[in-house]
Structure 1
Amino acid sequence: MKKILCVLGTRPEAIKLAPFIIKLRSKGDIFSTKVCITAQHREMLDPVLDLFGISTDYDLDVMKRNQNLFEVSAAIIKKLHKVLSYEKPDLVVVQGDTTTAFIASLAAYYLKIKVAHIEAGLRTGNKYSPFPEEMNRKFIDYLSDYCFAPTETAAQNLIKEGIDREKIFVTGNTVVDALMMIMEKQQGRESEENIRKKFESETGIVIDKRRIILVTGHRRESFGDDLRNICLSIRRIADERNDIQIIYPVHLNPNVQKPVKELLGNFENIFLIKPLDYFIFIWLMSQAYLILTDSGGIQEEAPTLHKPVLVMRKVTERFESIAEGITKLVGTDSESIYNETIKILNDQQIYQNMQKSENPYGDGNACQRIVDILGK
């Protein structure tokens, strides 16, 4: 039996690892699966684990207010050392590009434990954007014994960097598996009307006939002027268009909360709300007309829901949906974000063209492919 330890710390990791952990635990005759959380983002992590019914075996509880990368990295590696030394897993599984994923990979390497990286090979080519994620994922890939690339493009990135081809497997992105699990639950367990009532009760927002623009933004490299520019573009759109509702679940980071509330807090058609649980957030995505975001996960999820996305970043590691015309990279310039949003609102043909393609990031079977590979 293969002993596997899955290490995660943030909401995106939990979303993308949850269906994989469920698959692993369903194969109890092949895998002994343990889950260790660092709780790098405590408030946003726990609700996802509850939603998917993921029980944890270890909680490192490293979250502290205003800690920097040095402090969180030191806390994780020190506490994880004890877990790894006790469990002695055959394999440590990490996902994505967080500090948790990087430090867990490094700790496993120090103890000569094999590493599997889910969502390997994503690259922007700029080591400071996203920061520190771009270098995190490079380091993780070099430390990994299994590189599970979501797309052929990601796999080619790894090959160009000299990663052994025998370690690289194209599987699709597990976030599509998670999305489809939630969509199935929403169809079978709760009607659209019940979810709507729950959303309106929790947020105080009444969904009317106006088109919804869903906004999310949290990237560290956007803190400061870039985030301010993003807010100014949203403010201008709201000021000029009374036929839309702008809904912005605001990340809990004070570097996001402060400028967003200062610049967007007093508009009749802008709704600033706390982060939604994943179940309701997927429903809100399905109700949106257009999404403005810097989130990687949303870029991967939106094509399944046939929702156009404007990516408010200077670079992206998710080129496939841009090539398909489903998403568009608009940067963080206020004028660019405004112009591209107005184009989509005014031109039905542009909008429909961005809805047409299939999701290039996955088909809902990524977790099964990964489990099959690990079981060999």
Structure 2
Amino acid sequence: MEDSNGAEIKAPPPVQRRPPRPRGGGFTPEGFVAALRRRLSSGAAVAARASFAADSGDESGPPEPSSSHSRRDSSGDTSSAGGPGDFTAFSFRAAAPVHRKAKESPLSSDAIFKQSHAGLFNLCIVVLVAVNGRLIIENLMKYGLLIRAGFWFNSTSLRDWPLLMCCLSLPAFPLGAFSVEQLAFRNVITDAVATCLHIILTTAVIVYPVLVILMCDSAVVSGFLLMFIACIVWLKLVSFAHTNHDIRQLTISGKKVDNAPSTDDMDSLQAPTLGSLVYFMMAPTLCYQPSYPRTENVRKGWLIRQIILYLIFTGIQGFIIEQYINPIVVNSQHPLKGGLLNAIETVLRLSLPNVYLWLCMFYCFFHLWLNILAEILRFGDREFYKDWWNAKTIDEVKYKSS
């Protein structure tokens, strides 16, 4: 073909078009079978069959397609190697069996501990927050904000010098116990005399603060803190006396004792020093020993976070006492004057805030405060408590809480 100038014009290449789909009566079963085979041999179908086989527990699922399992004919159609009678391609169809092996329900006793229950746990948290949120709003609407400083610190708290002086004088008792042990290790006094002096010191460290509190009109927190510190000093002195008595038996008197320590423990058995006593009185432990495991350094960032958490949980404890426990106690009748049902109802109303208060006190003291002291003093053994919440008996709870 030429144009007006005589140049030859090439004809465009012919466009190959797909033949139109047969409509109506033009439907051919051979075309449908070919399209179905192409669909079943695709990657989506293979993935669906593998997923169904894994979910149904069928370990002998259909094999993955490969060049040896499929063939392509001259027309471009792909067919399964199993031929028309191979029904593995239909494993994700409705005709495939769903129940292939015996399985337990997720909440049955045999399968409940073999899977995660994070969803149920989250649901319990949501319900707990909703219920307690309603109780908080109801309490605020009924009583208002009841936080007041007079219950904790009144006008006499800052002038409560007798309790403060009593607290500052408590270190005299550990120094007295240290002097008794020094005399006993030098054989100046006998073991019987040392034991009697320790009994006098440990009794005085409890009786002395009680007498001061009874003679002075102090605030609640001041008296509580004084007795709390006095009880800790008493327990530490008891351990100090027992441990040094055993050390004297093992190193000086040469007596045979049961459960004798090993050679490594014998190397650490020595007379108490003033530095070891001071560290023991400040360390978060009630068991005296001449030396303790120590950490390398103090983590300042971690320590600041623990102090902030300690202040937050201390405030939560005060809120629970002031906002929930005090109004119930003040507004309730005397247990002996009211009926039995009123007494039971009061106890049940106090049970929930008391549980929350006890949990906050446990976390605040045994975890936060003791870890703060241990971090400052580089005290290595931080196992202040065990998993008492998994205990099955009361004795096991006592063991894991100590």
TM-score (norm 1): 0.19
Q: Which has the higher helix share?
A: 2
Instruction: Compare CA radii of gyration and give the structure with the larger one.
Output: 2
- Higher RCO (CA 8 Å, separation ≥ 6 residues): 1
